[in-house]
Amino acid sequence: MKQLTIVIRPSEAAMIEELAEDVLRKTMTPSDDFGDLVGIENHIEAIKSVLCLESKEARIMVGIWGQSGIGKSTIGRALYSKLSIQFHHRAFITYKSTSGSDVSGMKLRWEKELLSEILGQKDIKIEHFGVVEQRLKQQKVLILLDDVDSLEFLKTLVGKAEWFGSGSRIIVITQDRQLLKAHEIDLIYEVEFPSEHLALTMLCRSAFGKDSPPDDFKELAFEVAKLAGNLPLGLSVLGSSLKGRTKEWWMEMMPRLRNGLNGDIMKTLRVSYDRLHQKDQDMFLYIACLFNGFEVSYVKDLLKDNVGFTMLTEKSLIRITPDGYIEMHNLLEKLGREIDRAKSKGNPGKRRFLTNFEDIHEVVTEKTGTETLLGIRLPFEEYFSTRPLLIDKESFKGMRNLQYLEIGYYGDLPQSLVYLPLKLRLLDWDDCPLKSLPSTFKAEYLVNLIMKYSKLEKLWEGTLPLGSLKEMNLRYSNNLKEIPDLSLAINLEELDLVGCKSLVTLPSSIQNATKLIYLDMSDCKKLESFPTDLNLESLEYLNLTGCPNLRNFPAIKMGCSDVDFPEGRNEIVVEDCFWNKNLPAGLDYLDCLTRCMPCEFRPEQLAFLNVRGYKHEKLWEGIQSLGSLEGMDLSESENLTEIPDLSKATKLESLILNNCKSLVTLPSTIGNLHRLVRLEMKECTGLEVLPTDVNLSSLMILDLSGCSSLRTFPLISTRIECLYLQNTAIEEVPCCIEDFTRLTVLMMYCCQRLKTISPNIFRLTRLELADFTDCRGVIKALSDATVVATMEDHVSCVPLSENIEYIWDKLYRVAYLQEHFSFRNCFKLDRDARELILRSCFKPVALPGEEIPKYFTYRAYGDSLTVIVPQSSLSQNFLRFKACVVVEPLSKGKGFYPFLKVNVGFNGKQYQKSFSKDAELELCKTDHLFFCSFKFRSEDLPSKLNFNDVEFKFCCSNRIKECGVRLMYVSQEENNQQTTRSEKRMRMTSGTSEEDINLPYGLIVADTGLAALNMELSLGQGEPSSSTSLEGEALCVDYMITEEQDKGIPILFPVSGN
């Protein structure tokens, strides 16, 4: 019988393949088992975009990486289910770790499993390597390898993308990022933690079968989600374990959940730990038990291990934050502590790490510690327990291998200590009662010595081998009289002696600490002298603040260093020092500087200079090289009459001159400070004028508050964003204020001489807060009809959608500034000024006034009223209101709310709005008006907008005399009807005639959906203005307020003065 041979040409092969795929798509439907998983679709769509499925020629490998329990496998299975319909040949293989020496047999088994799955042939035989490539070379395949922990596994099954046909996709799921890099998989999708909202939803799906918890379970559900650390595995397991349980059961289980680890969660997470090398397991336990949340560099110095950090990071067991701190998930932390606890079999003294007060107390007081113990760390939250930790003189004698001892403020020690473990690397004992450390302690391995607030008089006698020591922190050890010999402390980087009030000098041996970066001896009240000729070329920070007895400055040779501490800069702080006045005559610059800095100091390297409390009239003569200077602080230098020439300090960013009361002006050379960002001169009471021929192009913050002699508005920069001029003698806000286009905050309260405010402040579109409270001399705001017209142009020349976006960005940025204009207690404001303020300013406003303007179509005496919603408003997606209240001054002896609020009632359901957390209503000396605007979206309201009455109840501890509300976007006819009804109610309430009421008035025009408002408001100060033809000018004012409402940002009654 002849064998039948079928020859298929390439074109026919492609046609058959296409036909097979078409049949496959029509006969298969993807599983929908994953459709109910919270957030799964977002992951799938993100990975699909990386896979580039639209490309039929490419062969692509993608890695899915993340920590254990985060849902990688679940995402992989869901993705596989979605993509299977597009691939005739596909396989989902989970890696299983195997033991044994038969590597070849293991690889053949892997190949057989893959080919059996992908070809659907269970009895397939594999006799040699390379069969995968041979059999699948022309096949379009989908291969997903899960939980991969072996590079050999990848090399055997998916050695190269070229092993497979065009359009193939290989997906590798692993915890080990380095494994993906080693296999040259560059496309990596990192599975991140879900948001708090999604995490709560995941928990509720498992526990309650719905997306949110029942009302009486809310707090408990939030805490459980927090305990799970937003880890999907933890959320699912804990939710399932609590499903169907009563609230009482949940409450009884909470202590267990807080202190322990669920068995199912532990079993899953333990796999990651077991796969680690022994040294990496040790590192994992060190971090879990002692150093989670610590700075990486600090822990590396202690553990002397860099490789372990890299391994744990790549296996996603820890994360290094952008600012260099270790972050381990709280469930992994619990896993590590459970592993250590299990090895001790219930005996705390035989553990490697102790982190619980009860265990530490037992071991220390009963002296049951063993050589197994490596670290004792009392958590900060247990520092202030009412029970003291009673330490015996021999408490640490059995702990010969103890390396890390941190016991906080618990050092109750009735006797002296006779033994400290010789292998200690970290000794952290705040408030230690010892007068000195045991004589047997050698400190050979000591890296960090931290004993703040101790009773130490000295540390030890003689010279100890301190070659490992990097940090010594003895701050506020008030009894400390001497520092030990530091001859062998050649690696010391930080010495903190702040507040050591009995310390008189430093040992000359400190000159051997050539790597010293940080030296702080501030508030060492008895410090008299330094060693001379110190060669500390690495020193970057020196603080001698508050050393009044220091009579000679050390001749320190300071140099630049690559070490980034603090921020890689040199800084000198020498506040309140009494310098030796017996200096030779004819001093040049460096000799003069001897009063505050050593003559050997190289000023061109100085980055920060702080000489607060300087006693002399000037720092130096002439121009000096200060090319590296970034910050200078001369505050509290009351004798300083002039600052030095800073024309060469071209990098200066911050100049602080607060309380320099003898300073009269600044030199014009400050115009060279093109990088100056902050200039503070608070309480410089002698300051009379600033240079006017300069424009500091980078200046953002200028603080001249309390400069009581300053009469003219500062014009040294038009780039200022925050300007503080309160309590000055300034008489006018000039018209050129319009050039300050970046101004955001203008504080001018208590400027008693201020008389005129230019209306050009209303041109400043970025101005968010302007406070003129208690400027009682203000009479007028110079009239300028072009101000409002300019605002109108600003609105009309921009498309509507861009206006909305602008206002939204603006309001978003000032959410925490309590945006408003305050004219509280400005009693002399004339009528034109009042009208101009309200006509030009679209911010919330506070100013004196006794009656609600007529513009508010609903007005009532007291603190409540009801608004009738016209039918035309019921079909809108939201309701917009403007409101005003008249508030009486605070009664003597009466408490007050620090904010104003309003309750709004729709169909009997109440909504409360709070609009200021720091209202300071007590500052209002007479009746005041507060204007605001706000909105309600339809989705925030009950059912549909099928109601007619809306009730308003304004609340404040100050008595509210009147209130008013206007509903926005209604027709002119409806407005007129509302106004008429409101006036009748007001007359009926007061019993007066219409002529007697004398209310201000307003006009609204409905035109192409924009509300136009003429805010010619006299605010209860006589007759209405005769200027009634500014409807067009007022258009933008109401429009912009309304657009603020459209964005859903409540801006009600922000009456804070600060």
CB 440 within 8 A of CB 418: yes
281-336 per-position pLDDT tens digit: 999 999 999 999 999 999 998 998 888 888 999 888 998 988 889 999 989 999 99
As to burial, measured by CB atoms within 10 angstroms (0-12 exposed, 13-18 middle, 19+ buried), residue 33 is exposed
Name residues whose C-beta falls within 8 Å of residue 287's C-beta, 6 or more positions apart in sequence.
Answer: 299, 312, 318, 326, 328, 336
Half-sphere exposure of 892 (CA within 13 A, CB side): 0
Query: How confident is the model over 1031-1055, as pLDDT tens digits?
Result: 333 323 333 333 333 333 332 333 3
- pLDDT at position 101 is 62
3-state secondary structure of 57: coil
Residue 234 in 3-state DSSP? Answer: helix
| Greater pLDDT, 642 or 1000 | 642
Of 268-282, 382-396, 418-432, 947-961, least confident by mean pLDDT is 382-396
Q: How many CA atoms lie within 13 A of 296 on its CB side?
A: 18
- The pLDDT value recorded for residue 35 is 58
Are 191 and 171 in contact by the 8 Å Cβ rule? The answer is no
Q: Is the dihedral of CA 450, 453, 456, 457 positive or negative?
A: positive
pLDDT band at 376 (very low <50, low <70, confident <90, very high): very high
The CA distance from 117 to 387, in Å, is 64
pLDDT at 12: 60
- pLDDT given at position 374: 94
Q: Is there a contact between 483 and 460 (Cβ–Cβ < 8 Å)?
A: no
Banded model confidence at residue 977, pLDDT cuts 50, 70, 90: low
pLDDT tens per residue, range 28-50: 444 556 656 888 888 999 999 99
pLDDT above 60 for 387: yes
Q: According to the model, what pLDDT value does residue 553 have?
A: 60
Mean pLDDT of 665-688: 91
Q: Which amino acid is at 75?
A: I
Which pLDDT belongs to residue 1021?
33
Confidence at residue 2, expressed as pLDDT on a 0 to 100 scale: 38
The span from the CA of 818 to the CA of 1058, in Å, is 9
Q: Per-residue pLDDT for 1007 more than 50?
A: no
What six digits make up the tokens of 775?
């400027």
Q: Is 29 exposed, middle or buried (0-12, 13-18, 19+ CB in 10 A)?
A: exposed
- The three-state secondary structure class of 717 is coil
Average pLDDT, the chain: 76
Q: What is the pLDDT of residues 199-217, one digit of tens each?
A: 899 999 889 988 888 888 9
Answer yes or no: is pLDDT of 685 > 90.
yes
Cα torsion 832, 835, 839, 845: sign: positive
The H or E element containing residue 858 is: strand 858-861
